[in-house]
Amino acid sequence: MRGSTSSPKVMARVVTALLMTAGLLTGVSASITESSRERLDYVALGDSYSAGVGAGQATTGCGLSPLGFPAWLDRNQKIELAANPSCGGATTVDLFPGYELPAQVLALGLDTDLVTVVIGGNDIGFANIVAGCSGGTAGSSQCAAAVKEANRRVTMELPAELATAFGAIRTAAPDAHVVVMGYPHLLSPQFGQSDSAAEGAAALNKGVARLNTALESAAESAGFQYIDVTKEFRNHGVGSPRPWIHPNGSGIFHPTAEGYQKGYLKAFKTEVQLNKLQMAAADG
């Protein structure tokens, strides 16, 4: 636990300080200090987008994949993935004990340094949108109704649900840097769809934009960092020549392995300053 004199992080700092005082680190102190930093204790939370559904090679019923972005982050020498209880179908309440899926907040602790969260899509009825807007029916009345209901939930229900969930994360991991990841636009209507399909696709993408706005606002209120991934996925939605979103199948409307790596992972690496987080964790 952070603050204990027997903590490996504290002991590493003490040993380094003693060596520097004795003059044994002359000329190489910077490299030794860098190498002595522990990897950030990282926990990934959320729904199927955090689990890596759509990337392939799922290892659990929750859809956890070694090709999802949390697994890619674990390959970074500065990060150690301590837990990923993310699960396909999870909503904000599934972060807590007492519900059908595993209680995700139980994976957090006082030593958690870094948390990523992708949540909210299922709270607004994402499955209904998939059912109503897939298979070339993005311009259908069923799709429009699903998007309308999702917009209502984003406005009327989701802010309070996110505030409760984010508050629980902060309580469980008070020293962690928490990163809330948004959702990509799912469709790319600019690549020659029919007028009705393009109109439906634009409405669906606007719904995702409203969801992302709610996530950004809730993250800011909680003191968390928000990362928008829509720029990385631009021109790679369903309907594009090189889609990073599955148009059908079991991973429908989820990123491909390439989408998780070149979309989510790239956005994280661009926005999160891991060196500063390591220094803050060592000083904590």
DSSP state of 264: I
**Distance set, CA 153 to CA 30, 159, 214, 218, 229 (Å):** 51, 9, 11, 15, 22
Of 48, 50, 65, 188, which one is the catalytic site residue? Answer: 48
Find the catalytic residue in 177, 185, 236, 254.
254
141 assigned to active site: no
Residue 225 is inside which H or E element, if any? strand 225-227
281 close to 262: Cβ distance less than 8 angstroms: no
**Among 9, 8, 32, which residue's Cα sits nearest to residue 20?**
32
Among the listed residues 91, 73, 197, the one whose alpha carbon sits nearest the alpha carbon of residue 143 = 197
Instruction: Give the C-alpha separation, 131 to 110, whole Å.
Output: 41
- Round to the nearest angstrom and report the end-to-end CA distance of the chain: 11
- Residue 82 has φ and ψ, to the nearest 5°, of -75, -35
Please give the sequence-ordered ranges of beta strands (E in DSSP) within 27-163, or none if there are none. Answer: 40-46, 79-83, 114-118
For residue 83, the surrounding DSSP H or E stretch is strand 79-83
Residue 254 bears catalytic tag: yes
Name beta bridge partners: 46: 118
158-172 helix and 141-156 helix, angle to the nearest 10 degrees: 50
Catalytic center residues: 48, 254
